[in-house]
Amino acid sequence: MRNINLAPLMLVILIVFSCKKDNAGTVPNNSQAKDVYVTWFTRVTGTGQNSIAEISKNENTFPLGDGSTATVANSIAISGVDVYVTGYESKDTNTIAKYWKNGEAVNLTDGSDVSIARGIAISGNDVWVAGNETIQLGNSTTKHVVAEYWKNGIKTMLTDGTTDVNATSIAISGSDIYISGNETFNGSYVARYWKNGNPVVLSDTAQSAFASSIVVSANDVYVVGYLIDSSLTSAVYWKNGTLVELTEGVVRSLASSIAVSGTDVYVAGIEANASHINVAKYWKNGQSVDLSDGTNPAVGTSIAVSGNDVYVAGYEWNGFIYTPKYWKNGTAVVLSNSINAVTTGICLSQ
């Protein structure tokens, strides 16, 4: 896990960025002052250095790793006064899936394989984490990526290891558990989600599709992601399995995160401009709002909404350094000009 190369992130967004609230898929309908939490991990720039997972609260930064091993933060959830962050830590050539509760690490795996904790949701006293392990099952001589989730540290596998399947995000609605993910099939990605362990296929093998994140609002299930056509990607989401395209598909775009407030649907992501530079943006009910000016490549990775306020976490790359930031109603808040880091999630206090 040393010397991680994040340059491809300017073309392909990390597959999980989310904010989950306690047993909720919708966001609060008020605009009271909120604490803003953002997760990131520092980008490795030299031999012998390790990435470090970090979290900021109102622009004050706290490390989740000590730098002795590589740590990565993927997703964040808030329940009451407790703050949860998922991610992983390197162990030799493997990784340990884990989450941090108020900065204290909770290991989900033992480091005997490659495992990653991605999405997280809190329901009452229960902590649900979605992710995957690369393991060898049964009589197979090949290791495969298995989608799974942990409830209070107890693992449940969603797939049998015959194909590579990633779990990317998780949402809890009442007694129902929803997990988004992707299956690799003959070189293509098939987007799907699971409801209580039962798969719901969102795409077929005619065109690759990727599911990045999931939220549930009332009886509606929203999964955000993108379609893949050769080298071109197009930002989309599915509502109850019906595809909604956010762009015309003539330039590269990606969708990474989704939030629902009342009848409004917000999606964070990117779209390339005429100079083929990625512009960070969000869509509200299909209408796009640019967050960066297109001078440097930028990415919107995670979105949270409170009343009329829209917060989007992201980062910008000037060719030398990745600058972590978030935008509130389109105005950028730079989290650091000196830390070379990639933001992965944003969440607001309840």
CATH number, domain at 237?
A: 2.120.10.30
DSSP at 152? T
Residue 47 lies in a domain: yes
DSSP at 141? S
Maximal C-alpha separation, the chain = 56
pLDDT of 92-129, one tens digit each?
999 999 999 999 999 999 999 999 999 999 999 999 99
Residue 141 lies in a domain: yes
R_g of the chain, CA atoms, integer Å: 18
Residue 8 lies in a domain: no
CB 56 within 8 A of CB 42: no
pLDDT attached to residue 7:
34
Residue 7 lies in a domain: no
Residue 5 lies in a domain: no
CB 277 within 8 A of CB 316: no
225 vs 140 pLDDT, higher one: 225
* Least-confidence region, from 20-34, 102-116, 140-154, 219-233: 20-34
Residue 11 lies in a domain: no
pLDDT grade for 185, boundaries at 50, 70 and 90: confident
One-letter identity of residue 143: K
Give the total number of structural domains in the chain.
1
pLDDT > 60? residue 242:
yes
pLDDT of 267-319, one tens digit each?
999 999 999 999 999 999 999 999 999 999 999 999 999 999 999 999 999 99
pLDDT > 70? residue 201:
yes
What domain range is 260 assigned to?
17-348
Residue 12 lies in a domain: no
Residue 288 lies in a domain: yes
pLDDT of 37-48, one tens digit each?
999 999 876 666
